[in-house]
Chain A
Amino acid sequence: SQQGEEDPQALSIQEGENATMNCSYKTSINNLQWYRQNSGRGLVHLILIRSNEREKHSGRLRVTLDTSKKSSSLLITASRAADTASYFCATGWDNQGGKLIFGQGTELSVKP
């Protein structure tokens, strides 16, 4: 079964606006990652946040993690048309042999 669930499934915004995507998970985790996928291409790692971190930044990306709510959010500030892609969270947890399990993804469309 899927560990992470992204919300919303699809998001459409104008260039310059901020985009926020959320990920909820079921089991306590050690780490959570976010990946990006351009249409039909391989996924690319964006950022990793550890369970003892609450917030992490990378360029225009800001990731938060709330372990009490078992949720994470990815914020893309000042979005660009080139940010159009699908975004996935991925988690791993103890007793799962090092597997990384992906959510269903949020499809982001940024209109020029």
Chain B
Amino acid sequence: DADVTQTPRNRITKTGKRIMLECSQTKGHDRMYWYRQDPGLGLRLIYYSFDVKDINKGEISDGYSVSRQAQAKFSLSLESAIPNQTALYFCATSDSARSAAGANVLTFGAGSRLTVL
């Protein structure tokens, strides 16, 4: 089984629908992240969590919410999906052993491709 599992892998939905992307990990890592990837824009950070009680907004959090249900689970929700949220979404994890900025090595899931019509 993968260390970081994302479900669903592919989802097509309609404008206005509520969508939840789920992420679970077996790495035992404290830190979890949600990124969005669009062609030509690289990866942009949506939300991140350093432990169950710690949730932080990233660069592009508008239109998204998250829930850290347990150390191993971090879900991303789109309350009312819109077409410009069509993208490839990645969950990633890292441990907290390295405190220096930029030293967190991320383990990524395989991605969830979301299409909003």
Asked if A and B bind, the verdict is: yes
Which chain A residues in 39-76 approach chain B with CB under 8 Å?
40-45, 48, 50
Cα A29 to Cα B103 in complex, Å, equals 10
Residues in B lying within 8 Å of A, measured CB to CB: 4, 31, 33, 35, 40-45, 48, 50, 56, 58-59, 88, 90, 92, 94, 99-111, 113
Residues in A lying within 8 Å of B, measured CB to CB: 1-2, 9, 29-33, 35, 40-45, 48, 50, 88, 90-94, 96-105
Determine which of B31, B42, B101 lies in contact with A29 in the assembled complex, contact meaning CB atoms within 8 Å: B101
Of the listed residues A29, A91, A104, the one surrounded by the most CB atoms of chain B closer than 10 A to its CB is A104
Shortest CB distance B98–A (Å): 8
| 6 pairs of residues in contact across A and B, judged by CB atoms under 8 Å | A30-B103, A40-B113, A42-B111, A96-B101, A97-B56, A98-B99
Cα A45 to Cα B92 in complex, Å, equals 11
A42 near B110 with CB under 8 A, answer yes
A88 near B43 with CB under 8 A, answer yes
B42 near A30 with CB under 8 A, answer no
A32 near B102 with CB under 8 A, answer yes
B101 near A30 with CB under 8 A, answer yes
A102 near B42 with CB under 8 A, answer yes
A40 near B101 with CB under 8 A, answer no
B101 near A104 with CB under 8 A, answer no
Cα A25 to Cα B113 in complex, Å, equals 29
- Chain B residue, CB-CB nearest to A88: B42
B108 near A99 with CB under 8 A, answer no
